[in-house]
Each structure stands twice: as structure tokens, then as C-alpha cells.
Structure 1
Amino acid sequence: MEKNIEMFRIITLIILISFNFSCKNNKNTDYSKESITIIKDNEEKTSQAKSTINPYFGLSKFDLLTKLEKDIDNKKTSYNFYRALDSINDFVDGADSEYYIEIYAKALINDCAKLKKYLEKENIDIDINTISFFTKSESYSKNISKSIKKCGIQKGENKIIQDTDGFVNLREGPNSNFDIIKKINNGEMVQCIFRNNNKWKIVITSDNLIGYIHSSRLKPIK
């Protein structure tokens, strides 16, 4: 009889332990579901917070370009604006690439001081593709060059033209196959925009045209 009672106690104890363990597991499962909900809520809040801090966060390529254009037109630029403009450069092509270049040109012409501040802080150059694109447009070329001169952005060395022919050709691109914008006579001064060692330099002329001249035709001012 005593053995039966002892056996009953052991079985009861086992049942109680199993029940307690099962309850804990159920509690942990519920807690895990609650945790997942909290994590998702926090992720959404984090995303919303990033969007509030940086309004360009999470936008598609086209939506980002659209917002950038709207902000430059409304003069609502900031460090985040230029960081977004700079970061999208490597991801645009075709029509989007031209859209990007137009926005960048507007920044150069209408918001040069802030663009300069961003470039200097990040220690990077003006986008060369934008400059090159508008060598074919005299009106844009002049507006960009005037803005560059006015705010002192990307200021390179001043050089003197010197060639055995008595002049050099200012071209639309970095080789002799590109169309000639104008001829520049010996002794005239031009301002180099990019401080690089390329054979062809992008320069601004005295009458505010932008184009390419071979570096061998550019001499230091004595």
C-alpha cells in the first residue's frame, strides 16, 4: 500500500512538472510573438524617423529625382539634398541621367554656395559629366561659368594660351574629334576648373565659355 502511495506521488509530481514546463513554453511563445510585433513596430518607427531626418531616404530613383528637382526649384536645399544628389549619380542612365544633369546644373547656377560647402566638406569635385554636357549649350555654359567664378567653387589655376599656330581650339570634349566651340589666341588667360593631371583640361574662358583644351597648350602665368 505504501509503495502504491509513493508511486502515486511520483506520477503526480511528474505531471505537475510537465504541466509547468508546458505553461512556460506557451508563455515564451506568446512573448516571442509579442517581441516580433514590437520589433516590426520599431523598424517602422525607425524608417519613419529616418524619413523625417532625411526626407530623401527610401525613395525610388524617379521619385528621388522628382523631389530633388522640386527642392532646388523651391530653394529648399540642405546637406542631405546634396548627399542624395551625389549618391544617385552612379545609378542613373538614359533619360534619368539627363534629368540628374539638369538638376545638378540648376544647383550650380542657383545654389552654388551650398554646393561648394558640400563639396569642400566631402572633399570631392564638381560632377564632370554635368560640366561636359553643357559645353554644347552656350547659354548654360555661360551661366554655369559665371556662377563658378562668383562663388569661387572648384577654383583651379589660371593659365595662358600658347601654341605655335598662334591660337588653340576650345572643344566640346576631351579629344580633337569633338566640335570646336571657338578659337582662343595666344596670350589669352583661361581658368582651369579641375585640378587634375589629365591631358585635356576643362577651362573657363574670359567670355565665360566652358570647354576642353589640351594641357600642352596651357602655360603657367609668370
Structure 2
Amino acid sequence: MSLSGKKVVVITGASQGIGAALVKEYADRGYAVVATSRGISPVPAPDVVTVRGDIADRATAERVAAAAIERFGRIDTLVNNAGIFIAKPFTEYTQDDYEAVTGVNLDGFFRITQLAVAQMVRQGSGHLVQIGTSLAEHADASVTSVLAALTKGGLQSATKALAIEYAARGIRSNAVALGVIETRSPDAYDDALARLHPLGRLGEISDVVDAILYLENAPFVTGEILHVDGGQSAGH
């Protein structure tokens, strides 16, 4: 257990949506939480530490890991939630689009995960969770998203590679592959987006949180890509 007597979770992209809900759920379950995003604000709770910064910047990742280890002494779970999704025809992506998406989705994953895994190896245990997308495995002509496939597909492959590389050291690695999740007020596009899913609705933040908490509490599950996509990956 940590210096505070609690397990410790690090959550990226933690200021809103899925990330903010995860901060609350893990804290409610007695975890110490280190939460980071570019716009995050301090939280008035003794066992919730916030670190403001762009996770694509190695310095931010290093400050986040240092905050967890210096304050709590360990990292039990890392949820790589930060991500950018830009849907465009392939030939219309700009260099700025490319750098923004790969910066957060790949660079943002890489350094913080290296630091978390190094600490988990020292502890002899840990759990990684990546947020992916079903579009990485099941392309849809109505949602042109090569940069999502390139980056989130890479994370889903890395999830399995990490699971195998570190299984003998007590570290698990899993991912959730999402459909379209409602993270804002409903708008006119929602009916069209809902039709992407055989279940006929958008996912809810609670669907994602429940999936991550299942993985958190499933010690015999590693290398899993858990689809939380309303059946999108199964077919249409």
C-alpha cells in the first residue's frame, strides 16, 4: 500500500468527461489519485493531487510520475485516458492535425507509461489501462479517421505487447475500445452517431467507467481489448 495506506491511480485527460468521472469513482473507492490535464484545477481533497500540463510534453509526464511517487510512494494503476480525435478525409489532414493527434495519443502515452511501468516493476505489481477506439479494428466509411486508427490502433497493439512483456513481473495491461460516447450536451448529430452502434444509442460515460473498474478488479485479465461500443465491432 502507499504512504497514505491507499492504492494509487494516475489518470490523464482528467479535467472533464471520462477522465473527471474516473477521478471521482476511484477517489470514492478509496484510491489516492493523481490527475492531470492542460486545464485541470486543484481539488480540495487530501488524497487527490492535480498536475496541470500537456501530457504530450515529456516534462509533464515526469512531473506527474514524480508527484505520485513523492506524495504517495507508488503507482498502482495508470489510466491513459488523454486523447484527441479528428475525423477528416485522409488527404485533408494538416501537419498541425497530425502533430496534435500523435502528440497526445502517442507521445502522451509513451513517457508516462515508461515512468509508471518502471515504478510498477520496483513494486512488483501494477495495472495499465489504455483508451482506444473500435474504429482502429473496424473501419467505417462514414467516419473517416485514419489518425485515430494510426494512434489508437497503435496503443491497442502496445497494450498486448506490454501485457506479455510484464506479465511475469505482476503488471497487467488492458484497453477499452470505445464507440461514440456522449460526453457533452446532445445535439443534432447524435441520431446519426447513434446509428453507428447496433444497440442504437450513444455510449454513456458510466459505461466506460464501469468497464475500467471491471478491468481494475479482474486480476486474471491482461492483454484484453474490451469493446465498449454498442456492438459496433461485432458488425452491422
Common fold, TM-score beyond 0.5? no
Task: Looking at secondary structure, tell me which structure has more strand per residue.
Answer: 2
- Which structure is richer in relative contact order (CA contacts within 8 A, separation 6 or more)? 2
The TM-score, its normalising length taken from structure 2, stands at 0.28
Task: Looking at secondary structure, tell me which structure has more helix per residue.
Answer: 1
Bigger-Rg structure (1/2): 1
